[in-house]
Structure 1
Amino acid sequence: MRLFLAMVSVFFATVVFFCTAARAEPEVSAKAAVVMDLKTGQVLYTKEPSKRMYPASTTKILTALVVLQNVRLEDRVKASSKVVNTEGSAIWLKEGEELAVSDALYALLLNSANDVAEALAEKAGGSGEGFAEMMNRAAKACGATDSNFKNPHGLPDEGHYTTALDLAKITRVAMGNRFFREIVATKTKNITRTSQEDLSLLINTNKLLWRYEGAIGVKTGYTIEARQCLVAAAERNGRQLIAVLLGSEGGVWNEAAVLLDYGFSAYRLVELVKAGEVVGHFPVDKGVSLVEGKPSRSFWYNIPADKDPFLLPKWRLKIEPVAAPVAQGKYIGEVIFSNEQGEIGRVGMVAGNSVAKRSLWPVVSTVFIAACLAFLGLKILAAGVRSRRRRSLSFRRG
């Protein structure tokens, strides 16, 4: 069967949706900032989102993600001489000391321990350089295409940079890991050390966990070169947002709260299509019936809070050629969403019902019966002609 594409346009609204906020966007001192919806990945606020910046210790979000993807929590890390000589914040590991990877991750993300970051890098990547390669591969897999990481802790390096948008993308993926979410939402934690005299009580450096209602993480950062950096996340009324601030000169806690408040109040999250609901019926080549089209998952989108919920982005269906037999759940096309700026997302569409192939027997039997009737008709006609001829001959002889 020759392939074809059927494009069916369907509109929810007669008014085109404009992605503008209901209230004035806040001003922040940070050189770069982003607010992102954790569920959808939709960006709700930006300030220089693609500007390359030093991330300082927010780097450790990616460090933790790479470790979680490559190392078992019950494994142990061992402090080398390079580890114990790492500069900056630390829990002061001793050479040869071992930590469970799970405890090391708490020290990494709560106390922002650079020595632990180096130990985890050696465990996962064999060396700091090897781990940096893993970090960059993981970043690209998260959709962070304008970043480059040279170390696991975020100490200054000219080749070590990211953007507010890239860091939001990395954080969104990391927050999808249950253990990561558990760590970054923890205020204090006791870990097991070799000696009772060693620092074992960890206190999260993220002050928003105490100050901002609904805060659920994630990571702080500071160097002289990077200035104040913060990735914050919070939940309110079932919605979860990420706020990223890089290069702030002060007041990063208040600015993060302002950005999160803005995202929660200026937008509301709506479900444009619901998984499993029928959005159309479509023909099936050689099928006995039409096939139902159902979205494989729900599609959520933030709209300005002052907009009518029915004034939504438009959507259309892209249907692939469908030939019988069709199994329920088979991919048959996509639901594509767009606004005035272009496409905003798409969802796969699957068959909501099975469709059997039309049998050839009714066609064959119909043809056979028609042929028999035609043959019988010819026989009757021929018999009639012969009968007329015989009567004609008898008349002539008489």
Structure 2
Amino acid sequence: MVEVMRVPTIEELREKLKVMGVPNNAALRDANLETKIDALANFGRAYLPTFEVITFVATLLAKVREVYCAKQFGGEEFRTYFHAAAGVMRGGKLRPLPACLSAISATGFTLTGPSLMGRTAMLKRVVELLGKPFRVEGDHPAPRVMWVVPILYLGYPTCGTLEGLLRDMRDRILAEVGRHDMNVNALAELEGINGENVAIALCTLMNVGVFVLDGGGFSDVNGKTERIFRFLLKLREFAGIPVVISGTSAFMYSSSYMGNLNSNLFNGPSLQMNPFRPPSPPRDGVENSKAKNGVWQQMNAWLWRQGLHPHSSQMPDELPSWTYQAAYGRPGWLVQGFEALHLALITKPELLNTGALTEKRVLAIFDMKLQLHNSARRAVARTVPPSAKGRASFIKNLDHLSTHDFDEPQVHEWLDEAMLRRAWNR
């Protein structure tokens, strides 16, 4: 609990959120080919947080600490509220938040942006940072022993229903705190008629620090989504804990069809993870700090340094511009392409010779690795408004598009039709 409540510095957060693509072992550069290939096995996990991401995480952690600090077991109002949650598990009604929790505002967090911008990678780092559930011993009048679940992370239910979300919640909690000899019907109340209230009471009893729902996409928004959104609002209202909703720009835009429900839910701190800007071109013979300090350039340099080639091998100055042509500012595609590039450099070391690593060669390596994403890459690469001829392809790749793409009148018309058809299919 001391670690959860500690306030980390921005630099500490940066290091804790960052994930290296290869083990931090200098000896790997001199290892045999098989060992180097093995070292690249988890390169796809590589993650470098931006300052905006670090700031968002710091804000979220501050809110978690605020909620934990506000719980007053020494006060009768909070004690009554806490112990009444056990009655809700048996069919009782929810009690309103005590004053110590109801005074806390801005508990709704929103994280959005196109696919492959690193939303899930960031949230999984927050899960690791906050740590696993643990039990604490309290002093009277607090309970003698109780659970603390710093973060409850759930993916958007594949069935798209509230029932599916509550079922996933049950599975997650049992996986975290259950034992091998636990009753197979443990927490079955979550799947009963009173499931919503049971879920909220459970979050209170287990001292959940933050509830995260991640992975919403365009295809997930329909008539059934309304019940999920209403539950999340109710969770904030009766449990008083921060709620993070993470989804693509298309998911957030589509949810706007829910009117006030959408605006009430997405009314707290938010982070829009837009694609990175193109790199600044290097200037021959002139020190160009702008070309070296852009986010895309920094990310390319960081990924290049993780290669298992000799330290003396210099990254081509033009490499960030070449990779941008293939990855379009998406770090997810950039990491995948760099994994293929590093594999090519250790299996074909002649590519490290002066002038051997050309734009054509780099693009060929990236294109081969990313060929399964060609449809999405074409969608984000377009420079003219979508036409009726490309409507199906455009809608198929909506989750890869940025927020500004939804400002086009043609897109508004298509989405109006799509949402009216699917929707309110309950």
Greater Rg by CA: 1
Compute the TM-score of the two structures, normalised by the length of structure 2.
0.27
**TM-score with structure 1 setting the length:** 0.28
Q: Which structure has more strand as a fraction of its residues?
A: 1
